[in-house]
Structure 1
C-alpha cells in the first residue's frame, strides 16, 4: 500500500494513495469502511456495493431530492440536457453513477453518511475541511486533492492526522531522546545546524544544537564541561545577540554577546538558547511555542503535568 504525506489546514495527513481511475471516492470509502486496499481482490466488489447503495438511496427519495440531482446532472451532462427531460436526465445521472469509473461527488458522500450513519470528514488541500453527519457512530476521513489546474479532482483515504499537539510532542520526545543518547550517553556532539558552518575541533564533545526548518529558529542548549553556545563564538556567529548558557561559561561569552543569566530560555530573533540538561524541557517547549503557538504548548505541558518555566 502506497502512502503519502499531505499538508492541509488542520494538520499533516498520512494518506493511502488511491488510483485515479474514476472510482477514487468509492475506493477511498471502501478503504475507510472495510480497511480493504485497492489491490485487494474484494475491493471492486465493495466499490460496486457502495455505488448500488447510493443509487438506491436516491431513487427511493426522488420526490424530495430530484431537484438537487437535476441541478447536478445539468453540470455533468450539459450536452444532453437539451434533449432529455428533467426526469430523464436525473435517471441518466443515476444510471451513470452505478457504473465503474463514473466520478462520485458530494451527493455520494451524503448518501453513504446517511445510509451507514457514519460521520464523514473531507479534508481539502488549500481549504478547510467539510463535515457531514457529525453525530454519526463512526468517522470516515478522506482528503480531496487539488490538480495542477487548481480543481478538486481526486480523493485519497486518510490514515492519520498529525495536529499541532502531535508535532509538539514529537519535538519534546525527539529532543529529549537526542539529548540523552548523544550528549549524555555517548558524549558526542550532535549538530543539526542552520546553515553549513561546521563546528571546530575545539568545540565540545557534548555540544548539542537543534534547528527547525519551519520558521528557522536555531536552538542551542548545553551540558558541562563545554557549552554549546561556544560553537557560535568560535565562528563569530550572531555576535551581539542575547544568549544564555551553562553558568560557568558566562565570562567567556559575555564579552561578545548580551548575556542573560536570569532566564531559563532566551530568545533573540531566530536564536534560542538555554542553560543545560535541567532546562531541556523548557527549551523544547519554547521551540514548540515558536512552531505551533503558545496555546498548544500550554495544552501539551498541562497534559504532561509539567510546570512551565518558559520566559521570553
Structure 2
C-alpha cells in the first residue's frame, strides 16, 4: 500500500513568524513601487519584475526536477492565468501613479471578496453561506465609502478616483486568476509550473507594452531602482511566493489565510510612515469595513 500523505498541521512558532514576515513584505510592496515610478515607468518595472522572477523560478524548478514540459492539459489555463496576472500588475503599477500606497493596499486586498464570488459561481462546493454574504455586503460598503473619500480628494491634492478604481480592478483580476487556477487542471499542477506560467506570460505582455510606449528610453536606473527591482522580483515574486506555497503544503490553509488580513494593515502603516500618506477618519472607517468583510468571507464553519 502507498503511504498516506502527511496531514497538514496547526501553525507552530516558525510558521507564525514566517507569515508575519510575509505579510510585512507584501504590505511594503506598494510603497516600494510608488517610490520608483518617477524614475522608471510603471509598466517597464512590472515587466522586468516578472522576467527576472520567471528566470529564477525556472532555475529552481529545473534544479528540483519539476516536470515543466509534460503535456498535462494546463497550457490554455496557464496562458489565461498569465494574461490575468499581467493585467493585475499593470493596474497596480499604473494605479499607484494616481492614488496613495495606503489606499492601493486596501483596494488590492479586496481580492478575497471577488474570489469568493467567482468560486461561488463556477466551482461546486464553494457556495457562499449567509455569514459570507454579509461579509461581501460589508466589504462593498467599505469600498463605496473609500471611493467617496477619494472622489472628494480628502487629504490629497486631488481626486484619487482613477487610482482607486485600478486598485479594485487589480483585486478583481487577482481573484480571476485564482478562479482560473482553482477551476482548471492547474489546481493539480506543480506550484512552480503554475507560477512560471503567470510570470513568463506577464513578462512578455508587459515588456512589449513598455517598449511600445517608450518607457525603456525614459528610464533612469540608479541604486533605488535596482533595489526596488531586487525587492519586487527576488524577494516578492520568487522567494515570498515559494515560501507561501511551502507553508501551504505543510500547515492548515485556514490558519494561514487568517494572517493575510495583516497585509493591508501593514500596507497602510508603511504608506503613512514612509510616504506620509494622509489617512482621514472616513477612509479609516472604510478600511475597517473592508477588512471585516474579508474576515467574514474567509471564516470556516
Structure showing the higher strand proportion among its residues: 1
Structure showing the higher helix proportion among its residues: 2
Q: Is the shorter-chain TM-score for this pair beyond 0.5, marking a shared fold? A: no
Coarse TM-score class (shorter-chain normalised): under 0.3
Larger Rg: 1
- What is the TM-score of this pair, normalised by structure 2? 0.24
